[in-house]
A and B are shown apart, each in its own frame.
Chain A
Amino acid sequence: MEFGLSNEHLMLKKLFQEFAEKEVEPLAAQIDEEEIFPRETVNKMAEMGMLGIPFSKENGGAGGDNLAYAMAVEELSKKCATTGVILSAHTSLGAAPIDQYGTAEQKAKFLVPLARGEKLGAFGLTEANAGTDAAGQQTIAVLDEETGEYILNGSKIFITNAGQAQIYIVMAMTDRSQGTRGISAFIVESDTPGFSVGPAEKKLGIRGSATAELIFEDCRVPKENLLGKENIGFKIAMQTLDGGRIGIAAQALGIAQGAMDETVQYVKERKQFGRAISKFQNTQFVLADLENKIQAARLLVYRAAWNKDNGLPYAVAAAHAKLFASETAMEVTTKCLQLFGGYGYTRDYPIERMMRDAKITEIYEGTSEVQRMVISSALLR
């Protein structure tokens, strides 16, 4: 059993840390305050190959692995959870399904520019009346035999990277009578006529991340853009989310670690009753308990990524990682804010932003309740 990181992972971690400190941290408060998508940062990430970490070099990627990808999301999210989720949604939700299910032509046309970071990816499954109950899809796709195009109608909500992405993986019903077995996955380009993006959502956290509705009005998608086969879209979506959960778990881990780093520094400086508050046992015990959970979360997150890299089942491992890491992020940020006291409640310190950002990790890409369903169904099988 090996718990140490390899030399290349150590060097990558250092690289991600340096990038996060120099490029991501200085913008974090501003992009939150002004709800700006950090386009320049994403361009810099693309330049170093961060948008294609787990994909092969032939497909435009870095030839790396999911552990390095998870570490990248973690390090970015320590400083800015918005930047972390942009990478996670792009890699796990936009690009990975094409890597897994795409034809050679689809990979050349869509995966290569995604992995190189020339284009950004996104994923559309959720609808107004189909959240956790993904089977309730209303978006439909009808094949026009004459033109060889699918005609999509409907809408998707809460889509991360909406309006910023050029390539979307979209689920739509091709055979409504079959329920989840009647869903298909399509690759939709942003310039397709009939495709549009709604206004940005106003959110509690990850405010720099672009979240909006995708609207399909007689949107004609070429037959060649069907991903996998007809009617296997639900399986594609579920497997995609299994992988995505590793990214979100890594984001949650990063938020928790970032909050801990800020708090350790603060409690050493902040004086009350004539001494640093780090000298009080309440501070010490709270931090010890939180650090304990962060370390446990890291093991779960890295284990899930490692399983995926080694061809082992990872769906349940990813659910464990996401459930534990996201609840840890929420607890750590809330209790760390308490240690900051009144200052922590102000926007002069990053801790309130981290607490607002943490909440989404318990909700998107499967709520904590969904993760419990995944874990318990494996347990009670």
Chain B
Amino acid sequence: MVAPQSELLHEPALSYAYPLYRNMLDNSIVFMYHGPITPDLVVDVLGLVEYRLGDTGEDRRVSKKLFNIMVESFTLGEDNRRGHAALVVRQLPYLYSVCIGRRIPSPLVYQVKAFLDRVNTLSPDQLREEYHRLLQSREPDQVQFIGGIPSISVLDLARKSHDFLHYVFEYVDDEDTFFSLEARIRKNNL
């Protein structure tokens, strides 16, 4: 019997399911998403994560913080011109991790890296001052971008997470680099 052409081109779905399941289990991933990011999606995802947290009896301070960070993380993924974003939420015994990943133009990597490195050196007071400056700096419809990333959203994440922002750049091709930004919520910091 000859396999249909679609099966020759694509592995049967079942062979993907187990590695994905193992990956999620081994890395404590409670939510993964890849696709367009819209306000409707944000609301739906928050509902799903709230449902997941409901089972675990998570402290309300922690879940509020997680939601606020997720809402802002989505803002960083809004650029459908270069493909859709990926969102991963991990739940570990001592922390939550919210990671947003998207393509950015490769020539802008150093600009984004320099900005993130600078944000990571700022004290809470300096972060607040910088956030206030950006909040007041422009008209409401004009957000300052660094390498295609809204800088005020990065500052907001840094303030809310009370932790360093973790990032990785991965080569896609000469035009694009995949940029992942992770904000962590350490339960003992709240």
A, B assembled together: no
On A, residues with C-beta under 8 Å from B are none
